[in-house]
Amino acid sequence: MSKTVGTINNGIGDFGRLSGAQFTRLVMQEELKGALRKGVTYNELFNALKDAQRKNAKLENMIGRHRRVIDKQDKTIKRLQEEKEKLKSKVLADAFTGAGSQAKFDADFETAIADRLRDSSRESGILIIDGRGVKALNDTMGRNFGDVAIKRLADAIGKTIRKNEHFYRLNGGADEFAVIIDNSDEKAVENFIKRLEGILSRLNMNEKPIVKYSDGCNRITEIKVGFSWGFCSTEPTSDERQSPRDAAGRSKILHMKERILRTAMDKLNEDKERYKNSTGAQPG
């Protein structure tokens, strides 16, 4: 083949300007001339060419089949990856409110505790927020109204949290939320609550959603929702500070998690009781 190319190159001069098809035709012509000079008949060349064409067609067909299989596999892999991401997002996020899920909260909460055990400067705390008036709406007006209240509270929390804070919907669809605050200072918690109260008050005043009533009619409705709350820092107790060799061991983290959540829930119930005593209304 190198002699053929050399012949073509010498005969054409500006070889670099040839197209691929021109080059192929010239090579075949030169190879044909060479074969004829060696005494190969046209019939033998024709049969050899037909055989080569059949083999080439068979090879192209095989390549095409493999390419179609690969394309199908690529599409399947892409679809499975998309389904995996959808399932992952469902596990980690609450579709209705946009908050993180219970599973996401458990994982992030345990990470926050482990970080605090390894580094005492990594302050954080857990704020539990429970919707006020949601149960009454569900019982008297229907679940559509309760859902509006839950979504509004979630929107208010979402507008209140800052860049380093995250919030979650607990208990798989209730009106209870948690916020992991990267600060355990009481003043920071009070500021968070004040911001949340202000945002929620504005939403209650300005938003009048269209809700479907039990008679099937949609009506503009004024819905107001409040909240009760309880907070506990991730700061370890004196006993918890006296750590075993593995300062952030799994069993210790779970023990602290249970203790912190219990304390936050106790504070939440105290806040509910204060509201009940001051207004005579049920906080739920």
In a domain, 82, yes or no: no
Asked, for residue 223, whether it belongs to a domain, the answer is yes
87-114 pLDDT, tens digit each: 555 567 888 888 999 989 999 999 999 8
**pLDDT tens digits for 141-182?**
777 888 888 999 999 999 999 887 889 999 866 889 999 988
The boundaries of the domain holding residue 194 are 102-279
Same domain, 135 and 178: yes
Residue 212 falls inside a structural domain: yes
Per-residue pLDDT at 80: 67
Give yes or no: residues 111 and 236 share one domain.
yes
pLDDT digits over 202-238, tens only?
988 877 766 777 667 776 677 788 999 999 998 888 8
3-state secondary structure of 247: coil
The torsion of the CA quartet 164, 167, 168, 169, rounded to 10 degrees, works out to -170
Is residue 80 in a domain? no
Number of domains in the chain: 2
CA 110 to chain centre: 20
CATH of the domain at 123: 3.30.70.270
Tokens linked to 156: 């208010």
Same domain, 57 and 189: no
Residues 151, 33 within the same domain: no
Q: Which tokens belong to 178?
A: 């948690």
243 lies in the same domain as 114: yes
Residues 64 and 125 in one domain: no
140 and 251 part of one domain: yes
pLDDT tens digits, 38-80: 666 667 667 777 777 787 788 788 888 888 888 888 777 777 6
> Residue 87 falls within a domain, yes or no?
no
- Does residue 67 sit in the same domain as residue 107? no
> Of the candidates 208, 216, 212, 228, which has an alpha carbon nearest to the alpha carbon of residue 145?
212
For residues 159 and 49, state if they share a domain: no
